Structure 1
Amino acid sequence: MMNHLAHAYLSFRQPELITGNLIADFVKGRKNMAAYTEGIQQGIRIHRAIDNFTDQHPVTGRAKQFFRPSCGLYSGVFTDLVYDHFLAIDPERFTNDSLYSFARYVYSEINQRADQLPPAFLQMFEHMQAYNWLYNYHTTEGISKSIRGVARRARYLETDGNIVFAVFMEHYAALKECYQDFFPELQTYVEELLQTENR
């Protein structure tokens, strides 16, 4: 899924959790997962739990409705992306400075483990770091670039990224409300999951 900032944030500054949470989409099968430390494996499990919780949540269903006419099956991908924008500007979670330093911290932790990580992830991560995705999600220009980039790479999407961005801007207030209704529930869910796993 595309909500990289949410996955990193919901790792609660635990380096191995952050690593697993960010590489999870690039690790297929139990055998490949077993190559990682227990902490990274836990991050991969948490990532998958976050994705399932997000996909099945009625508020995410509400947010997807805005994108569905133009994006079809990709509506979930763009919903994930805009959740990251609203997380980045959430004053209860970040200031501009703390978002910037959090992004640097995440890149630094990933770089320290780069030699253990999947090459396909590292290819994507190179772009993430070079263009500072995690920080730039907070601006509409940054999210516009992310939306257009995803639209360009989406094999079965026939809609131009500028149209998807226009949908986002048109429904900005309603999508922000979806984020506000959803994210605290997601955070509580992940915190409880980690407490259960760590007992």
Structure 2
Amino acid sequence: MNYIAHLHIAEHTNTSKLGNFLGDFVKGSDLTHLPEEIELGIRLHRSVDKFTDSHDLIRNLKTQFPANIRRMAGVIIDIYFDHLLMKSWQHYSAQSYHSLFSSFYTELKTFSLPDNHYYSQLSQRLLSHQWLKEYTYEPTCFRAFVSIEKRLKRKVMFATHAEFFIKQNRLLFINCFKQFYPELLRHGLHFKNNKTLSRT
């Protein structure tokens, strides 16, 4: 899942929004140098990603992609599911996404990763422009594909093909999301309720 889903799962499980966001940027298994709430959020993020990648619904959706962009299917699904979450936000949250994002931006100001240039750039852009709300609009996903395409070290020209595939198969994505996301929320709660951090 992508940024917005991880933040929503943080709200749903009452865990750290910052920690859940940092799962894409903090590496390694030893996280004891971080506050416990941040560590729990990172570990929840990793569990969510593992659950998503191994789920039959997601695996089946990936097989529907054209062969020329299938290697990017996970990225495309993650980003487009953020849009679908935003479009159906009221079904999954009593809190507005404006309130959630505002709280997240406040947390984001408190943390830095000096050795991670991409995180530093991204966090500054998030704080300066607060663009997560733009995922309400489908074209934001397509612009994100172009941005990712430009950053890839091993070039994969997938953005235009991904946009075309989504436009031709919106119902396929919507139906998968509606079936999958409630299961993911239950997984998040189960992980949080059964996870005890052991620090010695």
For the aligned pair, the TM-score class normalised by the smaller chain equals: 0.7 to 0.9
Q: 1:144 to 1:136 in 2, by over 3 A?
A: same
Deviations 1:14-41 (A, max 9, x none): 886211111122212234x222101100
CA distance in 2, matches of 1:133, 1:167: 25
CA distance in 2, matches of 1:132, 1:65: 34
TM, length-normalised to structure 2 = 0.85
CA RMSD of aligned residues (A): 2.5
CA distance in 2, matches of 1:123, 1:145: 18
CA distance in 1, matches of 2:4, 2:59: 20
Return structure 1 stretches of 4+ with deviation > 3 angstroms.
Answer: 13-16, 115-120, 128-133
State the partner residue of 1:5. 4
Higher helix share: 1
State the partner residue of 2:67. 69
Deviations 1:123-174 (A, max 9, x none): 2222334443421111012122112212222233432412211111111111
Task: Report the 3-state secondary structure (helix = DSSP H, G, I; strand = E; otherwise coil) of the residue aligned with 2:103.
Answer: helix
Structure 1 stretches of 5 or more lacking a match? none
Aligned residues: 195
Instruction: For 1:7, give the aligned amino acid.
Output: H
- 8 A contact 2:51–2:184 mirrored in 1: yes
CA distance in 1, matches of 2:106, 2:33: 22
TM, length-normalised to structure 1 = 0.86
Answer 1 or 2: higher relative contact order, Cα 8 Å, separation at least 6.
Answer: 2
Q: 1:93 to 1:134 in 2, by over 3 A?
A: farther
State the partner residue of 1:177. 175
Q: 1:116 to 1:124 in 2, by over 3 A?
A: closer
> Percent identity of the aligned residues?
23
Q: Which residues in structure 2 correspond to 1:73-112 (within 5 Å)? A: 73-90=71-88, 91-93=90-92, 98-111=96-109
